[in-house]
Chain A
């Protein structure tokens, strides 16, 4: 495999293919950066373009687009507090505050380096262990998914910063919104009030864009005095070597979470960055700094989302099973080029697998080089007068959300969630738990019901299946840990004044 891999790297270094890949990365980054447009859409648009290419060139371009799309959210998340994709939601928590402190370059550079490290770690795991991990991923059944989502939701507690109750309320709100429309199993209609539009449920794009991007626009308009543009320092130092070294452990843990979540079909990168962020916060020596421009937070969120790409490609290549919407389109792309992803791909087409790995490696490097080379340009966005920038962004959001399903209803949903997000933030409800609740809600419900169907209604499966039992135990420990932390903190605070 290694020899083939090196051979493919050399092959892809052909100028023609390199140009196509650079184009793919750029399109991916642009789509990823603009709220409403996603990596999924970038691939859907470029897919027909690759039909006419040779298979290796076409596949390399698609892989490059995917990687660009996942990373593109970084810039807008850091500079404008608008996550371009769900996979960069957690980046806004610390990237934006750091940029506001006048260290935009540092925030961006940290994110870019973390992305590259996460991507490479994901690739390493993919190359080294793909067939072995795939065998274990299959053992992950409905009961295990149920327990995993419970454990991930427990991180809500960690994510909700100081206010546990508000965090839980936000999470439950997210969970409730995910139940709108048809039940995932069977045909019960919920909260649709007879409207066909609502029967379709709420999809992640209008939900996320509304909650994070529209609400941010509303804030910009209603609180104009918050930021003084002219004094904003666009320079600032880059990353510190000591910080990078100090965060190696953090990046490895976050990447492991990213890969783990990416490997499991159905959850995808939108949850990976939030879960890794929560884990980093609870493991940090300085959790109080999180949310105020902590470098640790950026390292964890950005390494996790890129690592999830390697994770998501794993079941795709070994089993032909897509982990999320983006990989589902990639499968379509592969079949067009005469490849049937599935268990035989590894045996019959090792050359193509090597090409995919090589494209992954080159795209990750190209992305880092491109981003670092242009890093000084991005913060200038902050110098554009808001009365030009905001309408343009608003227009892009409306168009992006409309084309996600080609229906106007999605735009109304987005605007509605914009209002909801604005009000919630104003009254101190954290949005992270809400998104996590929304993303995991359907997965939890579906798998809970499936697990009970498989077990003929016996609830003990969640404890007797070993992986599931361990996950539930982990969830309980997380809850206990968080509650004791909060209690201890309260005690300290009440003691101090005396």
Chain B
């Protein structure tokens, strides 16, 4: 047993030596960027509980690309969508603690746990970073008799139980629906309308009156004259859509951008945490990262390990509060 550990150590020393050689060789070459942080392992498997193509996957792929640029590790994305993230979470919770198995997700981790759909919460992991965020809005059909949150609330008071808020029950959008309903004194009904694509068709098809959806999609439907945006779910306006008024400016105290978070196993090596701290600092100074994110309608939200943990604690308690749990 002891010998094995020593062998492993020797092996990793060898790796470091090799890396040092490669890096010093790099230094001799002109024009090679050298701000690369030394990461404890060569390859990271980043488990993403979403299928390729969506916002979460895009966020993970961009994070991977820029993490590779600023560290000496290679990041491979592993899409494990089944069970709404439970399977991917389990893989990482039981994964290697040398930093080679990491988990990428957002606030749906809190909701799944609070609704009893997953035994894993944010503190089952070691938070390592947050990378980017996607803003969402409350949208209604263009012909709706309300254009602001206040008008919606007034309408809901006059017509109790008539307005349907389309959410994905058990997901983060249910929290958003509950928050809006709380503002309206509970006079609306929260119904299931599935994923964002489903919610859009359900809204346009006239089966629900309010949905939450991403800024990128909302901009298109507003420009096409099919929808109106009541509010952006954030305290600060979205730089990509400054025309949407925020919830906070309309007196509704809910700020819930979808923040992409990277976790490691709870007992991950300290070296991984240090490496993340340094790499995130490097990524913060890279203007290309923000530009690449903007193309996917995401904004940078870089936080290192300590900041990320503080943020997640706040995010989780806010969601738990809204759900009364």
Q: Which of B66-74, B193-201, B304-312 contacts A (4 or more CB under 8 A)?
A: B193-201
Contacts across chains A and B counted by CB atoms under 8 Å: 128
B87, A405: Cβ atoms closer than 8 Å: yes
A328, B80: Cβ atoms closer than 8 Å: no
A453, B191: Cβ atoms closer than 8 Å: yes
Q: Which of A192-209 contact B (CB under 8 A)?
A: 196-197, 199-201, 203
Q: Digitize B220-244: 1 where CB-to-A-CB distance is under 8 Å, 0 elsewhere.
A: 1101101000000000000000000
B205, A138: Cβ atoms closer than 8 Å: yes
Within 8 Å of chain A (Cβ to Cβ): is B250?
no
Please report the C-alpha to C-alpha distance between residue A319 and residue B199 in the assembled complex, in whole angstroms: 12
B83, A181: Cβ atoms closer than 8 Å: yes
B224, A344: Cβ atoms closer than 8 Å: yes
Given contacts A200-B83, A265-B198, A343-B220, contact A454 B207 (CB under 8 A): yes
Q: Digitize A309-331: 1 where CB-to-B-CB distance is under 8 Å, 0 elsewhere.
A: 00000000001111001001111
Within 8 Å of chain A (Cβ to Cβ): is B98?
no
Q: Digitize A46-84: 1 where CB-to-B-CB distance is under 8 Å, 0 elsewhere.
A: 011000000000000000000000000000000000000
B87, A343: Cβ atoms closer than 8 Å: no
Partner of A200, one of B87, B189, B201, B208: B87
Q: Which of B34-42, B49-57, B175-183 contacts A (4 or more CB under 8 A)?
A: B49-57
B202, A141: Cβ atoms closer than 8 Å: yes
A44, B217: Cβ atoms closer than 8 Å: no
B53, A333: Cβ atoms closer than 8 Å: yes
Within 8 Å of chain B (Cβ to Cβ): is A282?
no
Please report the C-alpha to C-alpha distance between residue A321 and residue B200 in the assembled complex, in whole angstroms: 8
Q: Which chain A residues lie closer than 8 Å to B191 at the CB level? A: 450, 453-454
CB distance from B55 to the nearest CB of A (A): 9
Within 8 Å of chain A (Cβ to Cβ): is B257?
no
A329, B80: Cβ atoms closer than 8 Å: no
A327 (CB) vs chain B CBs: closest residue: B53
A182, B58: Cβ atoms closer than 8 Å: no
Q: Which chain A residues lie closer than 8 Å to B117 at the CB level? A: 182, 187
A264 (CB) vs chain B CBs: closest residue: B201
Q: Which of A11-19, A229-237, A334-342, A433-441 contacts B (4 or more CB under 8 A)?
A: A334-342
A343, B221: Cβ atoms closer than 8 Å: yes
A406, B78: Cβ atoms closer than 8 Å: yes
Within 8 Å of chain B (Cβ to Cβ): is A332?
yes
A320, B217: Cβ atoms closer than 8 Å: yes
CB distance from B170 to the nearest CB of A (A): 5
Q: Which chain B residues lie closer than 8 Å to A142 at the CB level? A: 202, 207
A343, B202: Cβ atoms closer than 8 Å: no
B192, A199: Cβ atoms closer than 8 Å: no
B217, A329: Cβ atoms closer than 8 Å: no
B204 (CB) vs chain A CBs: closest residue: A138
A185, B192: Cβ atoms closer than 8 Å: yes
B192, A453: Cβ atoms closer than 8 Å: yes
A332 (CB) vs chain B CBs: closest residue: B53
CB distance from B197 to the nearest CB of A (A): 4
CB distance from A207 to the nearest CB of B (A): 13
Please report the C-alpha to C-alpha distance between residue A408 and residue B205 in the assembled complex, in whole angstroms: 41
Q: Which chain B residues lie closer than 8 Å to A186 at the CB level? A: 115, 169-170
A185 (CB) vs chain B CBs: closest residue: B192
Please report the C-alpha to C-alpha distance between residue A140 and residue B198 in the assembled complex, in whole angstroms: 11
A200, B82: Cβ atoms closer than 8 Å: yes
B220, A141: Cβ atoms closer than 8 Å: no
CB distance from A443 to the nearest CB of B (A): 11
CB distance from A458 to the nearest CB of B (A): 13
Please report the C-alpha to C-alpha distance between residue A209 and residue B170 in the assembled complex, in whole angstroms: 31
A199, B86: Cβ atoms closer than 8 Å: yes
Please report the C-alpha to C-alpha distance between residue A340 and residue B204 in the assembled complex, in whole angstroms: 19
CB distance from B265 to the nearest CB of A (A): 16
Given contacts A200-B87, A335-B58, A335-B296, contact A340 B220 (CB under 8 A): yes
Residue from A265, A331, A343 with most neighbouring chain B CB atoms (10 Å): A343
Q: Which chain A residues lie closer than 8 Å to B216 at the CB level? A: 340
Within 8 Å of chain A (Cβ to Cβ): is B295?
yes
Q: Which chain B residues lie closer than 8 Å to A453 at the CB level? A: 189, 191-192
A320, B87: Cβ atoms closer than 8 Å: no
Q: Which chain B residues lie closer than 8 Å to A141 at the CB level? A: 202, 205, 207
CB distance from B82 to the nearest CB of A (A): 4
Q: Which of A7-40 contact B (CB under 8 A)?
A: none
Within 8 Å of chain B (Cβ to Cβ): is A139?
yes
Q: Which are the 8 A-B pairs with shortest beta-carbon distances?
A: A200-B83, A332-B53, A200-B82, A342-B220, A343-B224, A329-B53, A321-B197, A453-B191
Can you list 30 contacts pairing A with B, beta carbon distance less than 8 Å?
Answer: A47-B53, A137-B201, A141-B202, A181-B83, A182-B84, A187-B116, A196-B83, A196-B87, A197-B87, A199-B83, A200-B87, A319-B201, A320-B200, A321-B201, A329-B51, A329-B52, A329-B53, A336-B295, A342-B221, A344-B220, A344-B223, A405-B80, A405-B82, A406-B79, A406-B80, A407-B80, A450-B192, A453-B189, A454-B191, A454-B207
